[in-house]
């Protein structure tokens, strides 16, 4: 065969990825379960490059140069296993199967192990950027063996997005499921970012009394500063949009129930397993889930509480500045939590992930792309084993400078009855890290009381138990 790469699964993602490879000069073999889609792609976009359409798995494999590199872009889950079962018997030692779907990293670990035993490289790749990204340059997070990256890396570097310093937004993340794990956390952070932006919007609307257009304008201004990011940019566009049918702001005609496909939930589930406090991401997932509970929200007319009072124009402008500070401070905390999770996953699974390079490849192509990520990259470049982003001097200074406004915004939200679970969880996390003593000592006392779970002392080594039901003397635990 002559094709340097093959793509099977030609729905929106696979189709755009295949075109991206072809536009970058690679010969691309094409395959889809329903063959008509393969031919439709060639009919429509054949002129963009060199495609080799294949109707059967055998034809597809035969079209590929060796070692073969074939990308699976099908519905994540059982379909991925089905496609692997179909192709693996046709492959030879050294060939590379790339799964570009949103697989759970545990599935990727299982698949990688099974295929490794058959001499086939299996590379789970996180791809972010949606269909536009797939076509024009996504952020790419490949896992799998080092060896597989040697064969695959040069191709991915050609189709990836380019960071502002012109480097491609792809890097080998680490063995087996590391790429899909990092993509999962990326999506968790994306949930948190979106929730924080939504809270900022809610406050500007309810407390500052701004119209959606005015908020769009405010976000556009923020987007020229340290919050410069794709999500702020598109938020302004959504808010400025008017519904053609009614003439109302678009945001006012959309049902206020947020849906999810599951990667945010995975992030939180895995964080619980790893014991990593990702409270901001968790609140974002819960906020979506709460919004969707129509029956639960039926009490909206009957539960008493304050209604927000309008501010004067000057007060509103001042409040908007404070909200910017609160958003930025909360964002620092979200990323602190997300990177902590990556660090914990890396330790648990022995991936040796370079956190600075993760920040670097998120600078372009993906949904959370932002100027901010260059700062994170810088922090990890300065100290590779930085224990937490909040241990970085500059981030600590910035969050310190923002904190008065951050606290004021949350206090206002509480007084006026505007829910801000993301802002508040972030501030609580920050204050917990600041605390010299936490009430966890009391928790330990309670656990020892009812369950004899023992505790450690501040002044002596060892574990201890108090005889709560007896004379309350202390014994070694």
Binding-site residues for substrate, in ranges, read 102, 128-130, 186-187, 191, 261, 288, 447, 453
Under the criterion CB under 6 A, does residue 75 sit at the interface with ligand NDP? Answer: yes
Contact 149, 124 (CB under 8 A): no
Under the criterion CB under 6 A, does residue 76 sit at the interface with ligand NDP? Answer: yes
- Residue from 4, 20, 27, 32 that binds ligand NDP (CB under 6 A)? 32
To ligand NDP, the closest distance from the beta carbon of 459 in angstroms equals 53
Contact 156, 126 (CB under 8 A): no
Under the criterion CB under 6 A, does residue 116 sit at the interface with ligand NDP? Answer: no
Contact 154, 242 (CB under 8 A): no
Q: What's the token pair of residue 33? A: 């379960």
Measured from the Cβ of residue 11, the count of other Cβ atoms closer than 10 Å reads: 14
Select the span of 12-20, 53-61, 110-118, 451-459 touching ligand NDP (CB under 6 A).
Answer: 12-20
Contact 18, 28 (CB under 8 A): yes
Stated as kind and residue range, the H or E segment containing 52 is strand 50-53
Annotated binding site for NADP(+): 9-14, 32-34, 74-76, 102
With contacts defined by CB under 6 A, how many residues of the chain interact with ligand NDP? 22
- Residue from 3, 7, 73, 353 that binds ligand NDP (CB under 6 A)? 73
Is the sign of the CA dihedral 55, 57, 62, 65 positive or negative?
positive
Contact 166, 367 (CB under 8 A): no
Residue 372 DSSP code: H
Under the criterion CB under 6 A, does residue 10 sit at the interface with ligand NDP? Answer: yes
DSSP 3-state helix, strand, coil percentages of the chain (rounded to 5)?
A: 55, 10, 30
Under the criterion CB under 6 A, does residue 276 sit at the interface with ligand NDP? Answer: no
Select the span of 6-14, 192-200, 347-355, 395-403 touching ligand NDP (CB under 6 A).
Answer: 6-14
CB nearer to ligand NDP: give 267 or 412. Answer: 267
- Residue from 33, 214, 241, 465 that binds ligand NDP (CB under 6 A)? 33
Q: What's the token pair of residue 95? A: 């060939």
Measured from the Cβ of residue 444, the count of other Cβ atoms closer than 10 Å reads: 14
Give the separation between CA 370 and CA 219, rounded to whole angstroms. Answer: 14
To ligand NDP, the closest distance from the beta carbon of 447 in angstroms equals 42
> Annotated catalytic sites, by residue?
183, 190
CB nearer to ligand NDP: give 134 or 333. Answer: 134
Give the separation between CA 157 and CA 149, rounded to whole angstroms. Answer: 11
Give the separation between CA 61 and CA 39, rounded to whole angstroms. Answer: 17
CB nearer to ligand NDP: give 86 or 114. Answer: 86
Under the criterion CB under 6 A, does residue 74 sit at the interface with ligand NDP? Answer: yes
Contact 70, 97 (CB under 8 A): yes
Under the criterion CB under 6 A, does residue 101 sit at the interface with ligand NDP? Answer: yes
CB nearer to ligand NDP: give 75 or 415. Answer: 75
Rg of the Cα trace of the chain?
A: 25
Choose among 412, 365, 406, 372: nearest CA to 392: 372
Select the span of 76-84, 297-305, 436-444, 469-477 touching ligand NDP (CB under 6 A).
Answer: 76-84
To ligand NDP, the closest distance from the beta carbon of 20 in angstroms equals 13
Annotated binding site: 9-14, 32-34, 74-76, 102, 128-130, 186-187, 191, 261, 288, 447, 453
CB nearer to ligand NDP: give 11 or 391. Answer: 11
- Residue from 42, 50, 57, 79 that binds ligand NDP (CB under 6 A)? 79
Strand partners, 206: none
- Residue from 127, 207, 410, 413 that binds ligand NDP (CB under 6 A)? 127
Q: Which residues bind ligand NDP (CB under 6 A)?
A: 9-14, 32-34, 37, 73-76, 79, 82-83, 101-102, 127, 130-131
């Amino acid at each position: 065969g002559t094709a340097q790469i093959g793509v099977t699964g030609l729905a929106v993602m696979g189709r755009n990825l295949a075109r991206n490879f072809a536009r970058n000069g690679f010969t691309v073999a094409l395959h889809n379960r329903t063959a008509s889609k393969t031919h439709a792609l060639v009919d429509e976009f054949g002129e963009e490059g060199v495609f080799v359409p294949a109707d059967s798995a055998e034809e597809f494999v035969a079209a590929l140069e060796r070692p073969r590199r074939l990308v699976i872009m099908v519905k994540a889950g059982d379909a991925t296993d089905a496609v692997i079962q179909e192709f693996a018997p046709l492959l030879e030692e050294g060939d590379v199967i790339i799964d570009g779907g949103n697989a759970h990293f545990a599935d990727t670990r299982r698949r990688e192990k099974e295929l490794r035993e058959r001499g086939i490289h299996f590379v789970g790749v996180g791809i972010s950027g949606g269909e536009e990204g797939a076509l024009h340059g996504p952020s790419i997070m490949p896992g799998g063996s080092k060896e597989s990256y040697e064969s695959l890396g040069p191709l991915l570097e050609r189709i990836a997005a380019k960071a502002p310093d012109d480097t491609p937004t792809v890097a080998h993340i680490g063995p087996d499921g590391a790429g899909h794990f990092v993509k999962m956390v990326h999506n968790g952070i994306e949930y948190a970012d979106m929730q924080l932006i939504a809270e900022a919007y809610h406050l500007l609307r309810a407390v500052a009394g701004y119209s959606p257009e005015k908020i769009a304008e405010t976000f556009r201004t923020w987007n020229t500063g340290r919050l410069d990011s794709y999500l702020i940019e598109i938020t302004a566009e959504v808010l400025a949009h008017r519904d053609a049918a009614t003439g109302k702001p678009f945001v006012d005609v959309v049902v206020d129930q947020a849906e999810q496909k599951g990667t945010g939930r995975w992030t939180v589930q895995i964080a619980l397993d790893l014991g990593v406090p990702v409270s901001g991401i968790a609140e974002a997932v819960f906020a979506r889930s709460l919004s969707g509970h129509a029956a639960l929200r039926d009490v909206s007319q009957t539960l008493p509480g304050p209604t927000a009072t309008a501010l004067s124009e000057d007060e509103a402008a001042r409040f908007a500045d404070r909200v910017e500070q609160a958003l930025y401070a909360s964002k620092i905390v979200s990323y602190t939590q997300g990177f902590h999770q990556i660090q914990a996953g890396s330790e648990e699974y022995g991936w040796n992930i370079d956190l600075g390079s993760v920040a670097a490849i998120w600078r372009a192509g993906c949904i959370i792309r932002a100027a901010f990520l260059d700062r994170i990259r810088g922090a990890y470049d300065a100290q590779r084993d930085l224990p937490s982003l909040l241990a970085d001097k500059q981030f600590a200074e910035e969050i310190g400078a923002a904190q008065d406004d951050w606290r004021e915004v949350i206090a206002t939200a509480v007084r006026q009855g505007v829910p801000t679970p993301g802002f508040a969880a972030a501030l609580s996390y920050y204050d917990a890290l600041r605390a010299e003593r936490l009430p966890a000592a009391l928790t330990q006392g309670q656990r020892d009381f009812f369950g004899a779970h023992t505790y450690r002392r501040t002044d002596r080594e060892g574990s201890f138990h108090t005889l709560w039901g007896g004379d309350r003397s202390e014994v070694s635990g």
